[in-house]
Amino acid sequence: MEVGSLPVELWRLILAYLPLPDLGRCCQVCRAWRELILSLDSTRWRQLCLGCPECRHPNWPRCPHLPPVSWREALRQHALASRTWTQNGSDLHSSACLHLFRRRKDRRVWHVGTVAGGGYETFRGALAAAGPYDKVVLHAGVYEEQVEVSLKVPVEIVGMGKLGDVSLLVSFDQQCPTSRLCNLVFMPAWFSPVVYKTSSGHVQLDNCNFEGCQIHIRGPGTCQARFCSFAQGSSAHFLGVAISLMDSCEFSGGDSASVTVEGAPVSERNWAFKHLVALAKTFTMMTSNGSTEISTPSGKDSMGAGSHGNTPLEGVNTMEDWSKQEVDLETNWAKQKGGDILLPGQDGTMIEEDGMETSSESSEEGDEQDGEKSTGLKLSYDQHGLAHLSKADMPDSSAFPALLSLSAELQRDAEARDLAASVQGCLLWRCLLRDGKGGVHLCNHGQARLEANVFRGLNYAVRCIQNAKMVMLRNEVCGCKASGVFLRLSAQGLIAENNIHSNGEAGLDIRKGANPIILCNRIHSGLRSGIVVLGNGRGSIRSNQIYGNKEAGVYILFNGNPVVSGNHIFQGLAAGIAVNENGRGLISENVIRQNQWGGADIRRGGDPVLRNNFICYGYSDGLVVGERGRGLIEGNHIYGNRGCGVWVMSSSLPQLIGNHITHNRLYGLAVFCRKETDSAVGREGYRGPENFNEEGELMAWESDIDSEDERFSSRRPITVALVENNCISHNGAVGVYVKSSEPLNVVANMVKNNKAAGVSVIQSAQLTRLVANCVLCNGWTGVTVDRECRVELRGNGVYGNNCHGVCFRGDGLIVENDVVGNNAVGIRVMDNADVKVLRNRVQALRGYGISVKERVRGVVQENLFWPSKYIRFLFITNNIWHNIFDLYYSFCSRSQALWALENPSPRPHNSNPSSVTPSTLPAHLAITMTNRITASVESGCHNNGSIFCSIL
């Protein structure tokens, strides 16, 4: 009969009454009939799939409300898997195929219970009569055996009726090659909690419930459990298994781990090994093709992100949006009012802004400036050695490195690729583990693969210890009371594309030599940190989205030493990355944005390498180097933060090299001598090591930490904080603000277009060296040095600042600098300064080239002035100011050659100071400029006076 002779709807109605064999025959008629049969997926195929007593809903237990991609395909997969236990052809005799088919065709069915037409009354009696591959059918009732039951021959045991009608209080010991148990409820016998064990054969468990009992599988024995429920503390133990499958099972209410995998896989293999490996690979392919999607309760995460490859950037502000936002006073964020700045977390402590002159000093400018406008004859300084840094600007979100997909990560990492392809040990696929103490526990070289599972409401989801290895792909881990995934004692493996969120402790906890590969996960909304690495833990953490955690996105401490690369860490309620308590690590090419506290926070012996990261749009400081912080901070973009770009405590020894610190709302770089208080530490989310426990108990941290000598032996021999080759520009206050009690070297930096002073040193108990920097076009003084500060200025270029070039009140040297094109005095020395001003080239557009007044001691020698202005010296005698002399200089010849910075060219000269490895620099970093500036004054000059002057 042709299909076209009747409407398609009528055919579908007729075919809906056909049983499964007849549907298969109809598919073989022709292509039109096949397409018609396949169109019954949501009707007849769904009815057949749900009506099978051996199979529950295809998406049970994780999300039974969601239909499968194809009901027919789900039924086909069930039919194939249900026959795995019979594929034992190696134990048959010579005519293997004939024997196998004969046994399948002629196998007998034995009934147990009250059955019309007879049957066995006892379960043991039916097993004694059953032959190989026979079927034992248990009718409704409770079956109990007082001693252990041994299975000597392959047998299939099936419960009739609905699940729950047949209950077994039996302990099985399988001694045959294969067996199958289906549609049964297992409860522990009075003498043992173990209801099933095997050490050599294969057992298949379909649609069974286990209540308060255990199954034990020892290698080379294997197990395939499908659509089973392990409730009331039931668990599965695997010891040395080569492979076992747990497919669509539910574990709940356990007082210990639901699944325990222990021991390295044994080399011996049973007959089922190759079949289970093939089946496991089909599972893996189905998951990787996206046929099994994990659904969160809300349908999407808090970020509203789609696929992992698309980084959510809708929360990123542009610089214009950022500048328009007002600071939220309720969260105590920084707010600038006039010359006083209140910084976050300082309990009202005011930090004086000395980049601005006081009113009394500014009133003196009328005396120092002659009221004339600039002569218009300006010197060109565009070709200085740091000109390449002048072009640096704030990047936009399109400059962020994109998150790599898992396939891209696997292509470039052979070790991760091998792990992702490996199928060995215990495989958990599409299982639900909920409301118990533990999920999966791997120990003592055990191996497991966890794929597309849901872990919810446990104390911990996965614990991997003692050299165990796991592959954890596309799982959801949420609502754990402690850490979600916990690795220690040299554990390793691959953790990729998981959704880890809303856990009570860290999403991932790595310690004691564990070294996993963590790729492309979403780790968010945790009540503590996203990832914690401590106690000599390592790991490679790449291409993850880490966001919305209440503490640091990545927390490294107690000698943790991971590689953190290519992640997006954002919208955290504390620091983006925190490195404390002698933590280390390589942190590179991450996007760290919109965190409440420092984008990166280093303190208390932390010594990481931060390289090429984007640290931006934070609600506080970009980078915080707290008390005793260390580290190499190189090539980072730090911009758009509401606090400082970089905040450094003077007791720390960082190396800041080649960073772009721009468009931050307060200081670009601030170095403070204030010690940290408890409240300051608390604002970074650090609560002490006692909170990093496994299950709530206090831990002995001495076992996690190496000796003091071992920890410090790897440190670089750095004794002075170094700021080198950075671009510090367009910040809302001073570019470089120093209030320090420790020595500091500031070398070859571009300090440009900051709203206040370029460099402001208001406290420097030990020597601060400013060497070969370019201080350009800042909103106030180029370099200001306050009273009682020890500062050396050598080889700098101070150009085009809106006020004085250099305002110096402290002690030190001003040697071989170019101070040109500033709008007020070139070099202003005043108060009780003790300074040597030697071999500088000075031009002031307004005011004096050099102004020296009050009780200044020192030497002014061999300086070269351009003739637009003059030098003025003011002395104080008996508190009365007297003009001693005014020296006017002018060049007789106005040739163009005289109006250029030549021989040498404009300072600074060191165009690539980072070519010198920081670790090879001496601790004192004494950089000497050897070029000597000499000049002659032609006979027409005022009084034929010399430009070499000394003040005794």
Its domain, for residue 50, covers: 15-84
Give the chain's largest Cα–Cα span.
Answer: 138
pLDDT at 854: 72
Number of domains observed in the structure of the chain: 2
Query: How far is residue 516's CA from residue 182's CA, in Å, rounded to a whole number?
Result: 38
Question: 914 - beta bridge partners?
Answer: none
Report which of residues 206 and 37 the model is more confident about: 206
pLDDT at 431 over 50: yes
pLDDT at 680: 44
Residue 29 confidence class, pLDDT cut points 50, 70, 90 = confident
Residue 76 confidence class, pLDDT cut points 50, 70, 90 = confident
Query: How far is residue 540's CA from residue 742's CA, in Å, rounded to a whole number?
Result: 35
Span 211-232, mean pLDDT?
Answer: 94
Concatenate the DSSP letters of all residues of 268-328 into one string. Answer: ---TTHHHHHHHHHHHHHHHHTTSS----TTSS-TT---STTS---TTPPPHHHHHHPPP-
Picking from 888, 903, 928, the residue at the C-terminal end of a domain is 888
Q: Is residue 203 part of a domain?
A: no
Q: What is the pLDDT of residues 123-167, one digit of tens each?
A: 998 999 999 999 999 999 999 999 999 999 999 999 988 888 999
pLDDT at 666: 94
Percent of the chain with pLDDT over 90: 53
Q: What is the pLDDT of residues 568-605, one digit of tens each?
A: 999 999 999 999 999 999 999 999 999 999 999 999 99
918: amino acid identity, one letter:
P
pLDDT at 82: 73
Picking from 62, 84, 106, the residue at the C-terminal end of a domain is 84
CATH number of the structural domain spanning residue 758? 2.160.20.10
Residue 696 confidence class, pLDDT cut points 50, 70, 90 = very low
pLDDT at 686 over 70: no
pLDDT at 645 over 80: yes
- Is omega for the bond preceding 265 within 30 degrees of 0, making it cis? no
Residue 910 confidence class, pLDDT cut points 50, 70, 90 = low
pLDDT at 690: 38
pLDDT at 425: 93
pLDDT at 898: 56
Q: Is residue 80 part of a domain?
A: yes
Q: Is residue 354 part of a domain?
A: no
Closest CA relative to residue 869, chosen from 827, 835, 836: 827
Q: Is residue 228 part of a domain?
A: no
Report the range of poorest mean pLDDT among 190-194, 313-317, 745-749, 764-768. Answer: 313-317
pTM value > 0.85: no
pLDDT at 89: 53
Span 273-299, mean pLDDT?
Answer: 66
pLDDT at 265: 95
Q: What is the pLDDT of residues 833-892, one digit of tens each?
A: 889 999 998 888 877 888 887 778 888 888 888 765 445 544 433 333 333 333 333 332
Q: What is the pLDDT of residues 918-947, one digit of tens each?
A: 333 333 333 333 232 222 223 333 333 322
Query: How far is residue 628's CA from residue 602's CA, in Å, rounded to a whole number?
Result: 9
Query: How far is residue 540's CA from residue 588's CA, in Å, rounded to a whole number?
Result: 11
Top-confidence range, 311-325, 543-557, 854-868: 543-557
**Which residue carries 């526990």 as its tokens?**
441
pLDDT at 68: 79
pLDDT at 250: 95
pLDDT at 16: 74
The mean pLDDT value of the chain amounts to 78
Query: How far is residue 210's CA from residue 545's CA, in Å, rounded to a whole number?
Result: 38
Q: Is residue 316 part of a domain?
A: no
HSE on the CB side for 900, CA within 13 Å? 8
Residue 612 confidence class, pLDDT cut points 50, 70, 90 = very high
Q: Is residue 794 part of a domain?
A: yes
Q: What is the pLDDT of residues 441-467, one digit of tens each?
A: 999 999 999 999 999 999 999 999 999
Q: What is the pLDDT of residues 737-777, one digit of tens each?
A: 999 989 999 999 999 999 999 999 999 889 999 999 999 99
pLDDT at 79: 75
Picking from 888, 913, 931, the residue at the C-terminal end of a domain is 888
**Which residue carries 């214009």 as its tokens?**
320
pLDDT at 289: 60
Please, what is the angle between helix 20-27 and helix 31-38, to 10°? 140
pLDDT at 2: 57
pLDDT at 273: 92
Q: Is residue 244 part of a domain?
A: no
Span 4-30, mean pLDDT?
Answer: 75
Residue 27 confidence class, pLDDT cut points 50, 70, 90 = confident
In the DSSP assignment, the letter for residue 650 is T
pLDDT at 300: 44
- 3-state SS of 343-403 is CCCCCCCEEECCCCCCHHHHCCHHHHCCCCCCCCCCCCCCCCCCHHHCCCCCCCHHHCCCC
pLDDT at 381: 82
pLDDT at 245 over 90: yes
Long-range contact pairs involving 675-683 (C-beta distance under 8 Å, separation at least 24): 675/627, 675/649, 675/651, 676/603, 676/626, 676/627, 676/649, 677/347, 679/345, 679/347, 680/345, 680/346, 680/626, 681/603, 681/626, 683/344, 683/345, 683/597
pLDDT at 921: 36
Q: Is residue 746 part of a domain?
A: yes
Span 473-491, mean pLDDT?
Answer: 96
Q: Are 758 and 775 in contact (CB under 8 A)?
A: yes
Span 276-280, mean pLDDT?
Answer: 87
pLDDT at 899: 63
Q: What is the pLDDT of residues 335-384, one digit of tens each?
A: 333 333 333 333 332 334 443 343 334 434 444 544 444 545 677 887 77
Report the range of poorest mean pLDDT among 34-38, 808-812, 903-907. Answer: 34-38
Residue 673 confidence class, pLDDT cut points 50, 70, 90 = confident
Report which of residues 793 and 831 the model is more confident about: 793
Report the range of poorest mean pLDDT among 196-200, 370-374, 648-652. Answer: 370-374
